[in-house]
Amino acid sequence: MNAFTLLKQDHEKMAGIMEKIDGTTERATKGREELFTQLKNELDIHARIEEEILYPTLEEYEETRDISLEAYEEHALVKQLLEELAAAPKDDERWTAKFTVLNENVEHHVEEEEGEMFKKARKVLSEDEIENLGDRLQEAKQLQKSAIAR
């Protein structure tokens, strides 16, 4: 599977969940909790496969090294926000504000990946390497999902 197609599908899925959360109010705590748990699981798996497979591969090339290093830092910020959101009451307006910050950070990260990182990666990787990378990402993703299901 093409690595960039797989990652874009993930991005679209997470954007859909975020949109649903964004449409909730402080009174919808149960719905928010369920959607947030789903989002957190998806973001955790996505970040992990990128950090373990995609970014180390791209760090090897001068053209993609800087953007890969920046992506690790963006992930660290998103993880911090996720932990804070997980611990906070879902019926608090500050939760809503923090979720907005998370959403903005994820949107920025996705735009940078799809707009800049993937274009640069296509220049340094062959089609076979992109397919192989996609297969590895897919396999790692399935392993992560299986581990969560246990």
Report d(CA 91, CA 123) in Å as an integer: 46
**Per-residue confidence (pLDDT) for residue 34, from 0 to 100:** 95
For residue 70, name the pLDDT band (cuts at 50, 70, 90). Answer: very high
- List pLDDT tens digits, range 93-147: 999 999 999 999 999 999 999 999 999 999 999 999 999 999 999 999 999 999 8
Helix (H, G, I), strand (E, B) or coil at 26: coil
CB burial readout 59-70, b (16+ within 10 A) else e: beeeebeebbee
pLDDT band at residue 59 under the 50/70/90 scheme: very high
**pTM greater than the 0.75 cutoff:** yes
| pLDDT band at 84; cut points 50, 70, 90 | very high
* Residue % of the chain over a pLDDT of 70: 100
pLDDT number for residue 58: 97
Q: In Å, what is the CA distance from 71 to each residue of 11, 45, 104, 111? A: 14, 15, 15, 11
